[in-house]
């Protein structure tokens, strides 16, 4: 039992290395000569203490061990081999005619027991059997070692993976979770092991996820990516990064099987999970920015046109009037040139805030251009109520704006358009509001309004 490495070290290339331990030197030498003639490398020891030292300093495939010796008997040597974890196979010999030695030594792990006087046939058979066991043991140890290495690599890759990963047992309880999972959810491994998957899934989604985790007979082994809300630890102390009670995740799962007697036996569910909470928030932000003005947060022209189209359809069905108020900051360009764009932006934000305070529930306020705001009034009793709303807005916008210690008066105008008096479709309705500044809101007569109740021009001199 020697490898090429043993040969390179100058060791014997015999069929195997044996240690014969017997306090009767003549008997030991006789056995040594016999075993050596069969092609084995053999050494002898006259007592158990010397044998123990030789077993530590050298490698032996088989030890032929006399059970009854002074200083340290064969049983103590067997205990020594077992405690040290040595791979040496053991054959015991004894001259005791009873069966006690045979039974005791075999229970302690000996491969074979030979009664004295030892015959060549019995000894050769016992040595060959022990060497075969050693070969199988080393092969099994090699396989186990490879499995351990592979398992260790898998565990390491599992644990350092950038995404959350977990393994459920056959009952749906958490069996393994990686480090990312504990960091994101805030649960420690001790807290999560043994818990059922449903304990971390929001209640209204448990039924939907049932088929992914439980229905193994009819569902496929691998599921497409699904989205669900995963509960996190409510204790902020366990993980400072956990700011909410749940997170939105995208999960892929796969069922795991072993093969027994040509049959697939289910033993768990493996899941890979991506936290898409931030991605979802970013997507929502992008959608928001697509339809809202960045400066004021009001709906932009794209969203306003959708609102107007819908409101106009409702007005036609209900046979009710609908009104648009178009508010324009006429001198925005002059403010930007004189005070800077930051001041101009502050003026627009102030106008937006003042207009928001004037709108009723259900009214839609939008910024559709740089200096242009539109107020959609979908519910008005009659055209005369437009005058009241316009006057209310005029008063709300009439005060100057204080910016950096300066009092800035604004040149603002309001144009109006009423459905169905002025137009019957959304484009014409908006166009009429944009071109009617300074004119009567309820007629085609073109004259400048002079009274405060009918004012359409808000002009403040700087």
In the chain, CATH 3.30.70.270 sits at: 292-458
Q: Largest Cα–Cα distance of the chain, in whole Å?
A: 139
In the chain, CATH 3.30.450.20 sits at: 161-280
Q: Contacts from 76-81 at CB under 8 Å and sequence distance 24+?
A: 76/48, 77/21, 77/48, 77/51, 77/52, 78/105, 78/108, 78/109, 78/110, 79/108, 80/48, 80/52, 80/55, 81/55
Domain boundaries 4-141, corresponding CATH code: 3.40.50.2300
In the chain, CATH 3.40.50.2300 sits at: 4-141
Cis peptide before 222 (omega within 30 of 0): no
Does the pTM surpass 0.75? The reply is no
Question: pLDDT per residue over 401-439, tens digit each?
Answer: 888 888 888 888 888 888 888 888 889 999 998 887 653
Report pLDDT for 460: 32
Q: What is the rounded distance in angstroms from the CA atom of residue 161 to the CA atom of residue 175?
A: 17
- The domain 292-458 having CATH identifier 3.40.50.300: the answer here is no
Q: What is the rounded distance in angstroms from the CA atom of residue 115 to the CA atom of residue 95?
A: 6
Q: What is the rounded distance in angstroms from the CA atom of residue 279 to the CA atom of residue 143?
A: 45
Give SS3 for 251: strand
Q: What is the rounded distance in angstroms from the CA atom of residue 185 to the CA atom of residue 242?
A: 7
Backbone φ, ψ for residue 373 (5° rounding): -115, 150
Question: pLDDT per residue over 158-196, tens digit each?
Answer: 777 778 899 899 888 999 999 889 888 889 989 999 999
Strand 364-369 to 322-329 pairing: unpaired
Name the CATH topology of 161-280: Beta-Lactamase (3.30.450)
317 pLDDT tier (thresholds 50, 70, 90): confident
**Taking Cα atoms as reference points, which of 402, 325, 403 lies closest to residue 360?**
325
């Amino acid at each position: 039992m020697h490898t090429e490495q043993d040969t390179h070290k100058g060791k014997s290339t015999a069929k195997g290395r044996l240690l014969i331990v017997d306090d009767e030197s003549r008997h030991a030498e006789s056995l040594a000569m016999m075993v050596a003639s069969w092609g084995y490398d053999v050494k002898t020891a006259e007592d158990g203490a010397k044998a123990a030292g030789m077993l530590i300093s050298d490698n032996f495939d088989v030890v032929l061990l006399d059970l009854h010796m002074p200083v340290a008997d064969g049983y103590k040597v067997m205990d020594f081999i077992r405690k040290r974890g040595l791979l040496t196979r053991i054959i015991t010999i004894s001259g005791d005619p009873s069966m006690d030695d045979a039974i005791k030594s075999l229970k302690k792990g000996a491969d074979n027991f030979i009664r004295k006087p030892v015959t060549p046939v019995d000894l050769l058979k016992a040595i060959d059997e022990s060497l075969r066991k050693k070969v199988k043991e080393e092969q099994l140890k090699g396989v186990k070692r490879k499995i351990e290495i592979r398992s260790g690599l898998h565990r390491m890759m599992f644990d350092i993976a950038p995404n959350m990963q977990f393994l459920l047992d056959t009952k749906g309880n958490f069996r393994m979770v990686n480090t990312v999972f504990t960091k994101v959810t805030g649960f420690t491994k001790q807290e999560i092991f043994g818990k059922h998957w449903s304990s971390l899934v929001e209640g209204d989604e448990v039924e939907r996820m049932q088929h992914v985790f439980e229905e193994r007979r009819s569902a496929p082994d691998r599921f497409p990516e699904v989205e669900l809300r995963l509960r996190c630890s409510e204790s902020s102390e366990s993980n400072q990064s956990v700011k909410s009670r749940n997170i939105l995740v995208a999960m892929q799962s796969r069922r795991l099987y072993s093969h027994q007697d040509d049959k697939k036996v289910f033993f768990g569910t493996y899941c890979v999970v991506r936290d898409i909470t931030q991605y979802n928030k970013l997507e929502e932000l992008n959608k928001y920015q697509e339809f809202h003005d960045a400066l004021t947060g009001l709906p932009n022209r794209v969203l306003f046109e959708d609102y107007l189209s819908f409101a106009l359809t409702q007005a036609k069905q209900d046979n009710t009037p609908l009104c648009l108020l178009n508010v324009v900051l006429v001198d925005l360009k002059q403010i930007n040139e004189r005070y800077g764009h930051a001041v101009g932006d502050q003026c627009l934000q102030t106008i937006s805030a003042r207009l928001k305070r004037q709108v009723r529930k259900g009214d839609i306020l939008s910024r559709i251009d740089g200096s242009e705001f539109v107020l959609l009034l979908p519910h008005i009793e009659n055209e005369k109520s437009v005058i009241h709303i316009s006057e209310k807005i005029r008063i709300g916008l009439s005060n100057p704006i204080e910016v950096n210690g300066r009092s800035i008066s604004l040149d603002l105008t309001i144009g109006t358009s009423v459905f169905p008096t002025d137009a019957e479709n959304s484009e014409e309705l908006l166009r009429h509001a944009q071109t009617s500044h300074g004119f009567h809101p309820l007629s085609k007569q073109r004259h400048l309004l002079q009274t405060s109740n009918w004012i359409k021009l808000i002009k403040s001199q700087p």
